[in-house]
Structures are given as C-alpha cells and as structure tokens.
Amino acid sequence: MSDREYPSRPFVGIGIVVIKGSDVLLCRRGKPPNVGSWTLPGGAQDLGETCEAAARRELMEETGLSVGALHFCAHVDTIRRDDAGRIRFHYTILDFAARWDSGEPAASTDVSEVHWASMDALEPYDLWSEAHRIIGIARRLVG
C-alpha cells in the first residue's frame, strides 16, 4: 500500500494538455496506478512547488518537452472508494494547457510511450471521460 492509499487528506495532482496543431500529447502510463493506460502528462505537486512549476517539471520529466505560456483549464476531483466505502484514493487534479513550441517528446520516468494523437480521433486511446473534457477546454483556450 502506498502513502497515497487511504489518505488523511486529498493529494494535488497536476495535468498538462500540450497542443500541436490539431494534435494533443498523450502518455502511456508505465507505473501504477493504471499501467498501460493512455493519459495526459502530469503527476503530483511537491511541497513548496507552485502548480505551474509542477506542470512544467512533470512535462519535462515525462516527455522531455518544455512549453511557453500555461493557461489554467479546469480541475477534476477523483475520489475512489473501496468495497467498504472507505476512501482509497482522493486527488484534486489541476489541469493546464499550452501550445507546443519545439522539440520531439520522448518517454521517460513513469511513462512507457508518448504520442501525438489527433484530437478528432481519440477513441483508440480509451481516455478517461474527464481527459476528453479537459482536452476540449484546452483546445478552446490555446488550440
């Protein structure tokens, strides 16, 4: 059991939607939870780190990319309970959007693969419904 399982408080997660033309950057998770699932780059905010700094760090760690201006998109609350109804996981995720500037992404740290996916053809990636919502907001903000 990780220190994030059965927490005494919510954890702050950070996501970042990077848009390149009509494509969005996706990552395949290489570590639990949800190994093998496609998602947006992101991770946990560190103590003493601003939200924007966390977004930039996670993007660099997972893909090797850096971006210019960040725009706050939306938040997502994910609360998962066990069979007894106890809270097993609780994350408040703050999502940012940015336009791709330059460079080619490469999988690193806790992702096994990165891919530019057409925002008009995301079905094969079996993304969480909230990821679709966040990508739609990001597309309107920076697309």
Tell me how far CA of residue 106 lies from CA of 3, 43, 63, 99, 142, in angstroms. Answer: 29, 17, 5, 17, 23
Tell me the domain boundaries of the chain: 11-142
Which class for 31: exposed (0-12), middle (13-18), buried (19 or more C-beta within 10 A)? exposed
Does residue 1 surpass a pLDDT of 70? no
Which long-range contacts does 128-131 make (Cβ < 8 Å, 24+ apart)?
A: 128/39, 130/76, 130/78, 131/39, 131/40
The mean pLDDT value for 115-131 works out to 96
Confidence of residue 32 (pLDDT cuts 50, 70, 90): confident
How far, in Å, are 53, 85, 130, 143 from residue 140 at the CA level?
Answer: 23, 37, 16, 6
CA nearest neighbour of 3 among 86, 93, 89: 89
Rounded Cα–Cα distance for residues 61 and 137 (Å): 24
Q: Which two tokens stand for residue 51?
A: 């939200």
Structure tokens at 106: 């490469």
Mean residue pLDDT across the chain: 94
- Tell me the mean pLDDT in the region 38-57: 96
d(CA 143, CA 139): 4
- Dump pLDDT digits (tens) for 70-79: 999 999 999 9
Q: What is the pLDDT of residues 54-104, one digit of tens each?
A: 999 999 999 999 999 999 999 999 999 999 999 999 999 999 999 999 999
pLDDT recorded at residue 143: 73
Options 3.90.79.10, 3.30.300.10, 3.40.605.10, 3.30.465.10; CATH for 11-142 is 3.90.79.10
Give the Cα separation of 133 and 22 in Å (integer).
16
Question: Radius of gyration over alpha carbons of the chain, in Å?
Answer: 15
